[in-house]
Chains A and B, each alone.
Chain A
């Protein structure tokens, strides 16, 4: 029964990763790649100052995006789980939060253009309010727009697992807390938050993995002015430098798996489903 699954993952997940590991030791000329066993790609990668800067930038995106998606996701899930009283409404509003997940990310990125552009809605509104005198340039094609797009695209990856965990919290625990004299904030901090931890962890895994591995959001929203590791790999691919792209990919994969591995120690995914 598990055969087809193992076959698909074997051919399209394990084999590609093995292939990338192998190719990362190969050599490349300007137009072709040839089998070899060289450490050049890694040596170059680790000796270049650009690598460290780009990795640092990737971590920065992940950390900032995580903070925003967590605060927004937790608040939204908390509202749905504890303040909406009928199950029908909970399901309806929850679906409303998840529907964009099933639509195209690229179009959702494109749709920020009329907002953030030089003559976009944000600038013209701010100018008509007199907040600024001339259009702000850093709204589109900047770190700001990259992170805005990340938060826009990935907050629902936080909302869904946190809501799922919150719905399983026994409501009598909340009552018990308030009977014992806890204030609303104390209940939130000492009861709800600890019980929601598994959901938060699953959401964190999604957001961290998606942001760390992204290349398209950064390319599109920064107008190719900022870089993350995914962009670095994609640049090498565009130049047909597959071995060096592979070496970067291997390092990225190790980083992501290490991070996720640490996060997985805090949560048993199969039990939380």
Chain B
């Protein structure tokens, strides 16, 4: 191998600094959440303890953390499943031109770039004016979909751009029905990308704030609860909660990435040609 140019070392240093910038603050609150009972929101550490974590589990004076966590979890799964199903269907539909496909495509882009407070305000207004109670599982659920669906669809577009149609043609030639073609040929080929779509669906919903703000009603999701805490909680218990949900997020991301890796490895080992349908 030829030797690295000097620019490599400069850029590598820049990259490392970028990672420090990206992860440094989160690691800091990770450390600070182990503050001793008399410690404050910043260094120095006054001893090391699990005091603030215990606080989270014991007193409910800081709010309904566990309730909001379970709501966020449920909502995350609802959004995840819906995002995967609707994105796959949308991705399949967009392989051909259909009446209104251009318009629908621009709606997807709009959904991605529209200021989130508009979705929040608009959905909130519709619900309140028609006398429906805003609730995280109805209005909140829909408002979040306008954020997760564009990502799911863009991934599906990318996937189908690289999809080798001759596999489908082969299935059809051998007499597979359209449904069988999708079920036994298309879906297995695109399966690993669906793990990616699911990851986006779940995590974007689990962390979503702006679109849920006016659409979740009287029961908060976790990000809303945390934001509420920032105005009235000034102890490291805030950091403890932040650390816990970040660890949870990282676990979820880890599980999804592991799944993706296992699927691709299983394919390689079994000599399956399912992944080869991508060009």
Determine if B119 is an interface residue (Cβ-Cβ < 8 Å): yes
Binds A, one of B24-32, B62-70, B268-276: B24-32
Interface residues of A in 88-138 (CB under 8 A from B): 93, 95-97, 99-100, 102-108, 110-115, 117, 119-121, 124
Determine if A9 is an interface residue (Cβ-Cβ < 8 Å): yes
Q: What 1/0 flags go to B131-166 for Cβ under 8 Å of A?
A: 000000000001101100100011001100100000
Are A242's CB and B125's CB within 8 A?
yes
A83-B90 contact, Cβ under 8 Å, with A9-B146, A253-B118: no
Determine if B171 is an interface residue (Cβ-Cβ < 8 Å): no
Are B142's CB and A23's CB within 8 A?
no
Are B11's CB and A15's CB within 8 A?
no
Binds B, one of A37-45, A49-57, A230-238: A230-238
Are B210's CB and A216's CB within 8 A?
yes
Are A76's CB and B18's CB within 8 A?
yes
Determine if A17 is an interface residue (Cβ-Cβ < 8 Å): yes
Contacts of B118 on A, CB cut-off 8 Å?
Answer: 16-17, 20, 213, 249, 252-253
A104-B207 contact, Cβ under 8 Å, with A16-B121, A83-B12, A117-B42: yes
Are B249's CB and A103's CB within 8 A?
yes
The distance in angstroms between the C-alpha atoms of A132 and B265, with both chains bound, is 55
A16-B85 contact, Cβ under 8 Å, with A6-B104, A9-B107: no
Closest to A148 in B: B21
Contacts of A270 on B, CB cut-off 8 Å?
Answer: 105, 157, 161
Interface residues of B in 103-127 (CB under 8 A from A): 104-105, 107-119, 121-123, 125-126
Determine if A184 is an interface residue (Cβ-Cβ < 8 Å): yes
Determine if B203 is an interface residue (Cβ-Cβ < 8 Å): yes
The distance in angstroms between the C-alpha atoms of A105 and B211, with both chains bound, is 13
The distance in angstroms between the C-alpha atoms of A257 and B110, with both chains bound, is 8
Are B29's CB and A5's CB within 8 A?
no
Interface residues of A in 3-22 (CB under 8 A from B): 3-6, 8-9, 11-17, 19-20
Determine if A209 is an interface residue (Cβ-Cβ < 8 Å): yes
Are B242's CB and A111's CB within 8 A?
yes
Contacts of B115 on A, CB cut-off 8 Å?
Answer: 209, 212-214, 229-230, 249, 252-253, 256
The distance in angstroms between the C-alpha atoms of A220 and B226, with both chains bound, is 12
The distance in angstroms between the C-alpha atoms of A226 and B245, with both chains bound, is 29
Are A12's CB and B119's CB within 8 A?
yes
Q: What 1/0 flags go to A241-273 for Cβ under 8 Å of B?
A: 010011001001100110010001000011001
Are A16's CB and B25's CB within 8 A?
no
The distance in angstroms between the C-alpha atoms of A84 and B119, with both chains bound, is 41
Determine if B8 is an interface residue (Cβ-Cβ < 8 Å): yes
Binds A, one of B48-56, B91-99, B184-192: B91-99
Return B146 CB to nearest CB of chain A, in Å.
5
Are B122's CB and A16's CB within 8 A?
yes
A213-B230 contact, Cβ under 8 Å, with A1-B92, A19-B126, A108-B26: no
The distance in angstroms between the C-alpha atoms of A2 and B129, with both chains bound, is 29
Return A88 CB to nearest CB of chain B, in Å.
11
A8-B146 contact, Cβ under 8 Å, with A15-B122, A15-B126, A106-B226: yes
Determine if B14 is an interface residue (Cβ-Cβ < 8 Å): yes
Determine if B258 is an interface residue (Cβ-Cβ < 8 Å): no
The distance in angstroms between the C-alpha atoms of A107 and B239, with both chains bound, is 8
Are B203's CB and A102's CB within 8 A?
yes
Determine if A152 is an interface residue (Cβ-Cβ < 8 Å): yes
A-B contacts, 23 of them at CB < 8 A, read: A2-B98, A5-B86, A5-B89, A13-B110, A16-B118, A16-B122, A96-B19, A99-B253, A102-B204, A103-B249, A104-B226, A107-B26, A107-B246, A114-B42, A117-B41, A205-B113, A209-B115, A216-B227, A237-B121, A246-B121, A256-B113, A260-B109, A273-B158
Q: Interface on B for A, CB 8 Å cutoff?
A: 1, 4-5, 7-8, 11-12, 14-15, 18-19, 21-26, 28-29, 32, 41-43, 85-86, 89-90, 92-94, 98, 100-101, 104-105, 107-119, 121-123, 125-126, 129, 142-143, 145-146, 149, 153-154, 157-158, 161, 199-200, 203-204, 206-207, 209-210, 214, 223, 226-227, 230, 238-239, 242, 245-246, 249-250, 252-253, 257
The list of the 7 closest CB pairs from A to B, nearest first, reads: A16-B122, A213-B115, A1-B93, A111-B25, A209-B113, A2-B93, A273-B158
